[in-house]
Amino acid sequence: MLQVKTLKQLFQRHRRPGNLFFATTFLILSIALLIKVPDQTVWQKGTKWFSQPALWPIISILGMTIFATLNWTSAIVSKKIEGRWQEIGFWLRAFEYVGWFMLYVISVPFVGYLPSTIIFAFLLAVRAGYRSRKMLISSVVIAILIVVLFKSFLQVKVPGGQIYELLPDAIRSFMLTYL
Amino acid sequence: MEDFYSAINLLARLDVLIALLIGSIGGVIIGAIPGVGAAVAIAILLPATFSLDPLVGLTLLLGIYGSSMYGGSIPAILVNTPGTAVNALTTYDGYPMTRRGEARRAISLAYSASFAGGVIGILCLIFLSPILAWIAPHFGSREIFLAALLGVILVVLAHRGQIFAAGMLASFGVFLNTVGLEPIKYTQRFTFGQSWLSSGFDLIVVVLGLFALSQAFLLLLDKDNSPKPQPLKGSLFTGLKELLAHKRVTSVASGFGVIMGMIPGVGEFTAQFMSYTYAQKTSSTPEQFGDGAPEGLIASEAANNAVPAAAMIPLLALGVPGEALTAMMLSVFYVHNVIPGPQLFQNQMDFVMALYIAMLLLNVMVLLFLLFSTNLLTKIIQIPTRFLGIVILVLSFVGVYSLRNSVTDCAIASVFGVLGVILKRLNLPIVPIVLGMVLGGIMETKLRSAMARVKEPLDFIDRPIAAILFAIILIVIAIHLRTLFFEYRKHSQDEDHELHDTQIR
């Protein structure tokens, strides 16, 4: 249950484990960007300050650095919250699914949108721990429905797979256009 | 009146009506499923709407935006899990009502209050439109710059306890928008000699990563879970009658929704809590609040449903979005070369009117749909969370890849997906990044055009609206500093709560 009693308390966001690590990383990033400002932006002669290409990168990176310093300071003086490394481990586990996603992205132009979506959804369902026939069939059905909805009906721009070239002419053009 | 008839003409098309139907019913379903909010759905659908007519695309997205909160109240009341983040307050009184066997009454009241809030919000805007059409042309570059600046300041200050983090994330958003080939002097900014960075970070790629992919990753990483609500028995029409006994709370809550919705960077939470506080303070039974008070439920639902229509005001009248969803909708306008802002209110009032009428219609459609199919929805929301993660991941692919068939875009979205996971786990807000990106771009363009006519610094605020906006900025900062000072003197620690732990967004 929520424990919010007042308007003031509603807006209060409380710290969670891993806060100091994130604050430190963000501060390092901000300082690194600040150092790179002269290399990565141009301050042109004869151009007024408000039209300078470097103005908004400078404003934003200065904002990042100032706020990141304050955020880091407040994180370091706050009480330590247990579970920092466990939490960072959780973040890193997200990269497994980034890998799955990128594999799916890379496979589409070769295998085709429909086949790769079916394979991806099915394998991911297995990876997610589903073993029942109902859930595995559902993953295939939902994959087909999504492809039909977006490619066949909404005609979104997803190219056909190279594998479709191996199909007979009549089926190939259908697959390239709709699936 | 001419605009009204012209708006009806614009809407009287099969494709618009179908978009309205799909948007409103789809929005209810999406809102009812904990783990998918309107932001995720709109982010995924954005690229698909680019090929549609602007009115059709916007109607579809508005349908999702306006109806998701209706659906979100169902799991909030039945299983104590808000369907969307802004239904969190609904659990406060809705779930205790379910526990004491009044689930049907609570659901019925939530629908009725949502409907009243939605309709009152839109009616206010329809009546306000002539005033807006009169005021909007007085907003020149400097006024729009100041309005965008006010939006950034408010979105940072709205994140109490994490203001420094919100500030650095908003600045990060502004920075992201500057990366790439700059369009005036054609210089490269922070591209590090990489050609894939020359076109900068696309807002939709960032939004899809931060909202959709991050949610998919989180759902797949967490334990599998499936809500099990009990089916409802009996008619849901009774709430409409009961609502009449709470006219005062309903209208005040809707009023708060309209006012807070119009202010950039503020939105539903503030509206809900102001309404809730008002309802509690003026109630004859304030002790019941938090323990199943119907007025509390009404205050929460009427306020949040009045916001979407109001949030369209700064977007349509000034081209300045006040929160993440309207920021996403801005890209639909740009893709179709419809530039929101004073010109839109002056020259295409029928288009604006058509959007309002569409929102009115969607509220009617959603209410009718919900009154007859709530039990069907209680079955849909039982989808296991990891399965939902798979579906979001597959849908996110269409969203990112269909933009320009770029593997790089997908990789960038994935990186932002991981950033989204980290931010959500850390209880840090995502919205400042998105608003920083959009408002940063607006501020850069508007400052450049405004300064061309400014000789002395004070000239910047020599027009009445600019002066008022500048005064508001100073007042907002002063009030915040004053609050900090009093809190410091009081040395009070607020109790921890999970309202912002954004697993549910």
Task: Judge: A40–B191 Cβ closer than 8 Å, yes or no.
Answer: yes
**Percentage of chain A surpassing pLDDT 90?**
61
Chain A residue numbers touching B162 (CB-CB < 8 A): 13
Task: Judge: B187–A44 Cβ closer than 8 Å, yes or no.
Answer: yes
Instruction: Output the pLDDT for position B413.
Output: 96
Query: Identity (one letter) of the amino acid at B174?
Result: V
B414-430 pLDDT tens trace: 999 999 999 999 988 89
Chain B residue numbers touching A120 (CB-CB < 8 A): 394
Distant-in-sequence, close-in-space partners of B244: CB < 8 Å, separation ≥ 6? none
A96-139 pLDDT tens trace: 999 999 999 999 999 999 999 999 999 999 999 999 999 999 99
Q: Can you spell out the DSSP letters for B52-103?
A: S-HHHHHHHHHHHHHHHHHHHHHHHHHHS--SSGGGHHHHHHHHHHHHTT-H
Helix (H, G, I), strand (E, B) or coil at B180: strand
DSSP β-bridge partners for residue B189: B180
Averaged pLDDT for residues A18-32: 95
Q: Quick one: which of B402, B410, B27, B471 has its CA closest to B206?
A: B410
Phi, psi dihedral angles at A134 (to 5 degrees):
-60, -45
DSSP B496: P
Query: Between these two residues, B48 and B424, which has the higher pLDDT value?
Result: B424
CA distance B48 to A76: 45
CA distance B330 to B316: 9
Q: Is the dihedral of CA B120, B125, B126, B128 positive or negative?
A: positive
Q: Which H or E element spans position A179?
A: none
Residue A3 reports pLDDT greater than 60: no
Task: Judge: B427–A125 Cβ closer than 8 Å, yes or no.
Answer: no
Task: Judge: B274–A7 Cβ closer than 8 Å, yes or no.
Answer: yes
B78-125 pLDDT tens trace: 888 888 878 888 888 898 999 888 888 999 999 999 999 999 999 988
CA distance B90 to B290: 10
Instruction: Output the pLDDT for position B503.
Output: 39
Q: Quick one: which of B358, B363, B340, B345 has its CA closest to B3?
A: B345
Sequence ranges of the domains in chain A: 14-77, 94-178
Could you count the other beta carbons within 10 Å of the beta carbon of residue B232?
19
CA distance B254 to B375: 27
CA distance B447 to B170: 18
Candidates A18, A40, A67; nearest CB to B190: A40
Tokens 């288009």 label which residue? B351
B217-242 pLDDT tens trace: 999 998 888 877 777 777 777 878 88
DSSP A153: I
Instruction: Output the pLDDT for position B501.
Output: 52
Mean pLDDT of chain B: 87
CA distance B76 to B103: 11
Instruction: Output the pLDDT for position B475.
Output: 94
Instruction: Output the pLDDT for position B320.
Output: 87
Task: Judge: A40–B171 Cβ closer than 8 Å, yes or no.
Answer: no
Chain B residue numbers touching A10 (CB-CB < 8 A): 269, 273, 499
Q: Which H or E element spans position B188?
A: strand B188-189
Instruction: Output the pLDDT for position B171.
Output: 97
Confidence at B353, pLDDT banded by 50, 70, 90:
confident
**Percentage of chain B surpassing pLDDT 90?**
39
Q: Can you spell out the DSSP letters for B189-257?
A: ES-TT-GGGTT---HHHHHIIIIIIHHHHHHHHSPP----PPPP-S-STHHHHHHHTTHHHHHHHHHHH
Q: Burial level of B116, CB count in 10 A (0-12/13-18/19+)?
A: buried
Task: Judge: B427–A15 Cβ closer than 8 Å, yes or no.
Answer: yes
Distant-in-sequence, close-in-space partners of B489: CB < 8 Å, separation ≥ 6? none
Q: Which H or E element spans position B480?
A: helix B464-490
Could you count the other beta carbons within 10 Å of the beta carbon of residue B239?
24
Q: Quick one: which of B194, B220, B168, B215 has its CA closest to B419?
A: B215
Instruction: Output the pLDDT for position B142.
Output: 92
Phi, psi dihedral angles at B2 (to 5 degrees):
-60, -45
**Contacts of the segment B11-15: beta carbons below 8 A, 24+ positions apart:** B11/B55, B11/B354, B11/B357, B11/B358, B11/B361, B15/B52, B15/B53, B15/B56
Closest chain B residue to A37 measured between Cα atoms?
A: B190
**Percentage of chain B surpassing pLDDT 70?**
97
Could you count the other beta carbons within 10 Å of the beta carbon of residue B372?
10
Averaged pLDDT for residues B457-470: 90
Closest chain A residue to B498 measured between Cα atoms?
A: A2
Confidence at B290, pLDDT banded by 50, 70, 90:
confident
Instruction: Output the pLDDT for position B497.
Output: 56
User: Where would I find the H helices in B263-341?
Assistant: 268-281, 294-313, 324-335
Averaged pLDDT for residues B145-169: 89
Q: What is the ipTM of this complex?
A: 0.92
* CA angle (B424, B84, B290) in 5-degree steps: 100
Instruction: Output the pLDDT for position A62.
Output: 97
Instruction: Output the pLDDT for position A47.
Output: 87
Confidence at B502, pLDDT banded by 50, 70, 90:
very low
Mean pLDDT of chain A: 89
Task: Judge: A157–B182 Cβ closer than 8 Å, yes or no.
Answer: no
Q: What is the dihedral of CA B169, B175, B176, B177, to 10 degrees?
A: 120
Chain B residue numbers touching A130 (CB-CB < 8 A): 384, 386-387
B303-342 pLDDT tens trace: 989 998 888 888 888 888 888 888 888 888 887 777 888 8
**With left for phi above 0 and alpha for psi between -120 and 50, is residue B492 left, alpha or beta?**
beta
CA distance B156 to B105: 38
CA distance B473 to B246: 36
Query: Identity (one letter) of the amino acid at B328?
Result: M
Residue A8 reports pLDDT greater than 60: no
Angstroms from B72 CA to nearest CA on chain A: 16
Residue A1 reports pLDDT greater than 60: no
Confidence at B500, pLDDT banded by 50, 70, 90:
low
Kindly give the pairing relationship between strand B180-181 and strand B188-189.
Answer: antiparallel
Phi, psi dihedral angles at B91 (to 5 degrees):
-65, -25
Mutate to test the interface with B, among A3, A6, A10 (most CBs of B within 10 A): A10
CA distance B277 to B275: 5
